Amino acid sequence: MKTVAGIDLGTQSMKVVLYDYEAKKTVESSSFPLELISGADGSREQKAEWYRAALESCFLKLSAEGKSSIQSIGVSGQQHGFVPLDSQGNPLYNIKLWNDTSTAEECRLIADSVGGQEAAAAEVQNFILPGFTAPKILWLKRHQPQLFEKLRYIMLPHDYLNFLLTGNYVMEQGDSSGTALFSSKEKKWSEKLCAAVDPELIKKLPPVIAPDEPAGFVSREAAGWLGIPEGAVVSSGGGDNMMSAIGTGTVKNGVLAMSMGTSGTLYGFSSTSISDPAAGISGFCASSGGYLPLLCTMNCTVASEEIRGLLNLGVKEFDAEAEKADPCAGGVFVLPFFNGERTPNLPHGKASITGLTAQNCSRSNIARAALESAVYAMKTGLDSFRKHGFTPSELRLTGGGAKSALWRQITADIMNLPVRIPVLQEAAAFGAALQALWCLSKLQKNPVSMESLAEIHVEMDSSKTARPDEKRVQEYNRAFSEYQSLVEHLAPLYR
């Protein structure tokens, strides 16, 4: 048996899958939960030590036979997190995550120093937003100057795992383009944006490798404490959205995918650079070559989980309760800004339930509204994608929300597209494994395209396809207009 390992470092857990690429099946998997440090100021943080412990635990749960079969490893990681290390590779501070909104002031300072948000977008194809890495680095400089003086290594979460596995300090183009320091068009660090954070910053950033290049090879030390083969190839890896794109087969022009995890993302592959920050579309590189324009909201399953906890319901009970309500939830809306929001840019946003009357105030309407709210933001993104020439015939859905039959149908009706689900649900981990296979094939002098690999290995589950209902589509179009109006009127309160 020969396998490739895919590691997915998410916000809530780490997962590892072993994929037998000759038999085309997952043979083993493991996971480990991660905690979250939340602050009233919008901070969301984790510790680097937790990542090392999770990595060790995940591999300990795999069989010796499975681990010995590993030929190559790929790492997927939550995007934008800032892992600051000293010259010895020791963590200097907590990891500020993608959903940390405590850096709004740093965003303003960076944008002002380069001539405004439009000028920043011209440099790095993105506005300077709290989700990105650049303001997190400036936050450390402003709030922990003594630690900043010791800063030597600047990593993203997936880079840190690559560092633990190989000892090498590199980044790849996809995750780098989510730092707001890297030009996805020119595929290099922006001297102007780096200098806006610190004059010496660009000297501390790592070299950026192409997505089909190896980040390195499993070191003797990593092989010893993880029980995996020394010298196994470690591919470049990438951000979780980039890896999910591979895992869903979103590796050719015009294919759109949507991830319903803690955050919600809508993304599509493009052979040319596409960026529209004013419409919420980030101009990222793909980790399969090409580009991955992406819209991200910071509150997807967060909304359903918070409302589910409020109603004291289990996951299946929550779906059953929501299913009792009619489409559009009787006019009830949830504005799901529990973590602030990135699209629209409302770092100080607050969640609310609105539209309640004596007639529609029910658990079922509130539950359904929570599910619908996460998809409304995605619909805004879909309209923007179409303006840039995307004409999708289907939407490939992944993430925890994709497991809900009701949520899949709501998505199909609101987006007015058939929704298809990959057979292998852990899209980020599976995508990382496929990227590892892509890299391995190239090193073995048998190069293949990522598109051909996806055609061979990415299978859709036809039994879970959801198709839009014309009557519900029209109802949701009207409700969506009302949702947009609510956001427009409330947004000034949160800017």
Question: pLDDT tens for residues 288-312?
Answer: 999 999 998 888 889 999 999 999 9
Question: 272 and 234 in one domain?
Answer: no
Report residues of the chain scoring pLDDT below 70.
none
**pLDDT, position 384:** 85
**pLDDT, position 24:** 96
Instruction: Report if residue 443 sits inside a domain.
Output: no
CA nearest neighbour of 256 among 404, 108, 383: 383
Instruction: Report if residue 450 sits inside a domain.
Output: no
Residues labelled catalytic: 240
Tell me which residue has tokens 């000759």. Answer: 22
Question: 284 and 235 in one domain?
Answer: no
Residues ≥6 apart with Cβ < 8 Å to 191: 202
**pLDDT, position 446:** 93
Instruction: Report if residue 427 sits inside a domain.
Output: no
Query: Residue 30's CB: how many other CB atoms inside 10 A?
Result: 16
Query: Residue 396's CB: how many other CB atoms inside 10 A?
Result: 27
**pLDDT, position 79:** 96
Q: Is 363 helix (H, G, I), strand (E, B) or coil?
A: helix
Question: 183 and 104 in one domain?
Answer: yes
* Count: domains in the chain: 2
The token pair that represents 474 in the structure block: 């029209």
Question: 479 and 404 in one domain?
Answer: yes
CA nearest neighbour of 100 among 72, 145, 146, 138: 138
Question: 293 and 196 in one domain?
Answer: no
Element (H, E) at 135: helix 134-143
Last residue of a domain, one of 241, 271, 292: 241
Instruction: Report if residue 452 sits inside a domain.
Output: no
**pLDDT, position 257:** 94
Instruction: Report if residue 120 sits inside a domain.
Output: yes
Q: Is 183 helix (H, G, I), strand (E, B) or coil?
A: strand
Domain containing 491: what range? 250-421+465-495
Q: Which amino acid is at 225?
A: W
Question: 258 and 179 in one domain?
Answer: no
Instruction: Report if residue 449 sits inside a domain.
Output: no
**pLDDT, position 345:** 83
**pLDDT, position 380:** 84
| CATH number reported for the structural domain that contains residue 168 in this entry | 3.30.420.40
Question: 92 and 190 in one domain?
Answer: yes
**pLDDT, position 298:** 84
Last residue of a domain, one of 223, 241, 259: 241
Question: 481 and 347 in one domain?
Answer: yes
Question: 177 and 149 in one domain?
Answer: yes
Distance CA 4, CA 440 (A): 9
Question: 199 and 63 in one domain?
Answer: yes
Instruction: Report if residue 456 sits inside a domain.
Output: no
Last residue of a domain, one of 241, 268, 289: 241
Question: 397 and 362 in one domain?
Answer: yes
- Give the pairing type, strands 70-77 and 3-9: parallel
Instruction: Report if residue 150 sits inside a domain.
Output: yes
Question: 254 and 211 in one domain?
Answer: no
